[in-house]
Amino acid sequence: MPELPEVEVVRAGLEPAVTGALIASVDVWDARALTRHSGTPEHFEAELTGRRIVGAVRRGKFLWMPLGDDEAVVTHLGMSGQMLLRVPGAPEERHERIRIELEHPVHGALSVVFADQRTFGSLALDELVDTPDAAAGGHGSSLPRVPTQVAHIARDPLDPAFDDARFRARLARTSSGIKRVLLDQTVASGIGNIYADESLWAARIHPESVASDLPTRAVNRLLAEVRAVLERPSPRVARASTRSTST
């Protein structure tokens, strides 16, 4: 499953290619790629065509491309999803599910392909709602709005608006093991199983330690290690960069 650093690589690769681009056409080849979308494939195609993308945003492992201030195309990569940039007329990708043709004011015509071998990923058109804290919805945008499908998850520890004090307070009233808490997306998003293990090991905290028993200095140390792990380059991230945004 793509982890937060890999999803951020995908977002960063998409951002210059899609920001300001007009959606010329949309082709849904497999309806399973729209499991999070409330309408039909035909509805998805019709609603996106003619709209303009204003950015590429991420919170945790969710990506979205805002279409103005009210709606966005939300993407979750699932286990094996990819967002690929291709030249117009490029051959169909293996496991291609959706293709979005763009007209960019600088780059010209581009194709965004959603490919997914295991079909656990999905795209959807979703409404944007205000963030409760009035801070930006996610990384890559200053707009204080977030898709309804993403609003339930907490900010990730790399988000400038992540509230360390709130995180410490949540742990102080939680009797679960600390690893389970780290994996709870309503507490902190984007921390996968491997990254939780690495962070706890580096912070010298046992995964089954009761969260509420951890002293403040241990929680602070853990947060520092979580951020260090999420920011550390890895071979998987390098592969994601070339695989997910190559042209």
CB atoms within 10 A of CB 177: 15
What's the pLDDT tens digit per position in 147-156? Answer: 999 999 999 9
Question: Is 4-151 a domain of CATH 3.10.129.10?
Answer: no
What's the pLDDT tens digit per position in 148-181? Answer: 999 999 999 999 999 999 999 999 999 999 999 9
pLDDT at 97: 97
The residues, any chain, with a CB within 8 Å of residue 117's CB and separated by 6 or more, are: 80, 94, 95
Pairwise CA distance, residues 225 & 86, whole Å:
37
pLDDT of 184 strictly over 90: yes
Looking at residue 232, its amino acid is R
What's the pLDDT tens digit per position in 10-22? Answer: 999 999 999 999 9
The residues, any chain, with a CB within 8 Å of residue 230's CB and separated by 6 or more, are: 4, 5, 156, 157, 158, 190, 191, 195
pLDDT at 35: 94
Question: For the chain, what percent of residues have pLDDT higher than 90?
Answer: 91
Model confidence band, residue 2 (pLDDT cutoffs 50, 70, 90):
confident
Pairwise CA distance, residues 92 & 98, whole Å:
10
pTM: predicted TM-score of the whole model, two decimal places = 0.90
What's the pLDDT tens digit per position in 135-151? Answer: 999 999 999 999 999 99
Ranges of each domain in the chain: 4-151, 164-231
CA-based R_g, the chain, Å: 19
pLDDT of 246 strictly over 50: no
Question: For the chain, what percent of residues have pLDDT higher than 70?
Answer: 94
Fold annotation for 164-231 = Helicase, Ruva Protein; domain 3 (1.10.8)
pLDDT at 240: 40
Model confidence band, residue 233 (pLDDT cutoffs 50, 70, 90):
low
pLDDT of 66 strictly over 80: yes
- For 37, the token pair is 């979308």
pLDDT of 208 strictly over 50: yes
What's the pLDDT tens digit per position in 107-116? Answer: 999 999 999 9
Q: Of the ranges 83-87, 212-216, 228-232, 241-245, which one carries the lowest mean pLDDT score?
A: 241-245
pLDDT of 244 strictly over 90: no
Q: What are phi and psi of 8, to 5 degrees?
A: -65, -35
pLDDT at 232: 83
pLDDT of 190 strictly over 60: yes
